[in-house]
Amino acid sequence: MTFGETDPSEIFGGGTVSFVAPGNQVFPNQVTFDRRELNRILNLYGRMVAAGEWRDYAIDFLKDRAVFSVFRRSSEMPIYRIEKNLRLARRQGAYSIVSATGLIVRRGHELDRVLRAIDRSVSLVAG
């Protein structure tokens, strides 16, 4: 298996579209989160860590998708995976949230709307 063809839980690393790894190995055409997307995800992550629900994360940039995995404990499987898949951008939306069981919790075109599925601080109380 080469870089970009493995499961997100099997590799470590990050990068940009033209990432140069140690040993001058270039990985073009990687899908990445841009600054705005990563800022939104990390804001949610910070709130959930402060609430004591999440404790660790991993970011994987593959050829076909970028994955932000969230862990309750670092030795476990991720409880959520926030994925950006550009092949699905026109149809179902580039962003999706996948639970630990593999169930797609929400999919859509806008990251903020997709993240609302797991963001508990944006709940409304009817009075």
Q: State the pLDDT at residue 20.
A: 47
Residues 48-81 pLDDT 10s: 999 999 999 999 998 899 999 999 987 778 999 9
Max CA distance (Å), the chain: 61
Q: Which residue has the higher pLDDT, 106 or 27?
A: 106
- Tell me which residue of 64, 57, 78 sits closest to 4, measured CA to CA: 64
Residues 86-114 pLDDT 10s: 888 888 899 999 999 999 999 999 999 99
Q: State the pLDDT at residue 126.
A: 61
Contact (CB, 8 A) for 41 and 33? yes
Read off the amino acid at residue 73. R
Q: State the pLDDT at residue 124.
A: 56
Please report which residue ranges of the chain form alpha helices under DSSP H.
35-50, 111-115
